Amino acid sequence: MKVIDLFAGVGGLSSGFRKAGYDIVLANEIDKSISESYKKNHPDTLMINDDIKNIISYLDNISDKVDVIIGGPPCQGFSMAGARIRKKNAFLEDPRNFLFRNYFEVVQKVEPKYFIMENVPGMLSMSNGKIIEEIENLFSDETNFKHGKYYIYKQVLCASDYGVPQDRHRLIIFGSKKKINFKKAFEETKKRMIKSGEIKKATIYDAISDLNYLSSGEGDFEQDYKNKPLTEYQKERRKNSKFLFNHKATAHNKVAIDRINELKPGGRRLDLKEGKKIKSVHSGAYGRMRWEDLSKTIITRFDTPSSGVYIHPEQARTITPREAARLQSFDDDFIFYGNKSSIIKQIGNAVPPLLAYYLANVIKDVEEGKYDEE
């Protein structure tokens, strides 16, 4: 089936759908550096580096019928993390919070069989629920489409339930031109994939314990693997890559390293000795991971100790971009390009490919007619 990926970022959703056999015919990303990284990892996809508002003019270049539209409009305004520090009414003043309307306009133009919109769970409650109500109304209004409305289903999923070693919750809005039993489709596809071994639980240890030892500031863009894979998860991530990419540690100052060295696995900033304690809005600041745990949600500041639980379980540093990518379920042959801040943004904002792979399988099962309703 043919797919368009909007607000594609580096292509987490695209990666999962491509793994499931879909053809990503067009993608859109406004950030130049991120779009270049997308193109290098998805060379067969037409990447449009432009504002979403201009994307309609490119759609005539797609000769084949598009079956699915996927994408996650920017979530700055819907994020719970940002809610603590936003000024009153800032949500209404930020135009990024209404980009879902541009997503709708593309769906309206193309009218695919299905669409998937991904966002943070905070979207459900933002503006007292009026945002999600508007989204549902737009897609379920017969008069907005030539070929019938969309039936809408929304559910918050945790990525760890789909093989991602991360406690990352995301709102999924699923639209279908035909009426289906959405709840059953989501549940039965998950059961099928667990039974087949396509979904397996994974921990931080499963994800990153094989990666090369690095001290603060060490590492290179490309290097040899020094260790053999220790888990099935690692074997799967490494199977198409001969070299280790993006495994470079942030250079921390002496004060930060001294604090990090005080922390045992599972430790937090409140465990630091007097004189080394810090103030932070993040409850998990200066948090050291534990091998047996899930990662906390990977964000766009995972290189900074004060941003959360992003200190390596054993080593005196925060996790590297490759370690973060592993925790996001990217394969090792997916290489991130650009400067450090761009690469961290690419990884932190991505939809985990294994979560996307599950969603792609839900659509496949629905397409087979397994869950049709009259």
Question: Which amino acids are annotated catalytic?
Answer: 75
CA distance 116 to 90: 27
* Nearest-10 Cα torsion for 157, 161, 163, 164: 50
Total Cβ atoms within 10 A of residue 371: 21
Tokens matching residue 277: 């304690």
Q: What is the DSSP letter of 166?
A: E
Contact 338, 346 (CB under 8 A): yes
The Cα-based distances of 50 to 7, 54, 112, 254 in angstroms read: 10, 7, 22, 42
Give the angle subtended at the CA of 226 by the CAs of 222 and 231, to the nearest 5°.
105
**E-state strands within 73-150:** 114-119
Q: Which residues have CB under 8 Å from 130's CB, separation 6+?
A: none
Sequence-distant (6+) residues with CB within 8 A of 123 are 75, 78, 131, 132, 171
Q: CB–CB of 288/313 below 8 Å?
A: yes
Cβ within 8 Å of residue 339, ≥6 positions away: 33
Alpha helices in 111-162 (DSSP H): 130-140
Burial 194-222 (b: 16+ CB within 10 A, else e): eeeebbeebbbbbbbbbbbebebeebeee
